[in-house]
Amino acid sequence: MDTAPGLTFRDATDVDVDVLVALIESAYRGDSSRVGWTTEADILDGRRTDPQGVLDVIKSPDSRLLTVERDGTVVACCQLEHRGDHVYFGMFAVSPALQGAGLGKTIIAEAERIAVETWAAGEMHMTVISVRDDLIAWYERRGYRRTGRMSPFPYGDERFGVPLRDDLRFELLVKELRRPVTP
């Protein structure tokens, strides 16, 4: 689906797995992530995701892995998972070379529209590592609010990365979504 000039939004398929893993890794881990501002390289080492994790999201019946292309090249993605009255937003990655140019705002707006249109969701939820003040501030400017509800970081489970500090935890951020008014 085309919703912004030059961008195509579509659901990921099995053939996208390797490209999406590389995109997500490049946005959050290692030196390549330092080109953008979403890097977690100073707080986490190791992998951000793996092919099985991406494939699980693609195959989940209550989930969509929205893939964003520009001129036929995958430049971003995000997970939308229907959870009752809300949709969970995760696995959000924008190519580091394209960060800071407004692409993220466009993608999150489209994700919110899809959550309402597809599942009539009243809220979007996400979890963010609580020490990521710059990232949380970005989401707050998009209408998300901090809840103060924390969940533990899965220390010892390297599927989520190798922590470089001992104070990591996730904070729940929530945004109320506007549902269309029915006449």
* Residues 120-168 pLDDT 10s: 999 999 999 999 999 999 999 999 999 999 999 999 888 788 899 999 9
93: CB partners within 8 A, 6+ apart: 20, 23, 24, 26, 27, 28, 38, 76, 77, 78
Predicted model pTM: 0.90
Cα distance between residue 183 and residue 29, in whole Å = 48
Task: Residue 58: name the closest of 33, 79, 36, 32 by CA.
Answer: 79
Cα distance between residue 164 and residue 176, in whole Å = 34
* pLDDT higher than 60, residue 42: yes
Task: Report the pLDDT averaged over residues 109-126.
Answer: 96
The confidence score (pLDDT) of residue 3 equals: 52
Task: Report the pLDDT averaged over residues 10-34.
Answer: 89
Amino acid at 30: G
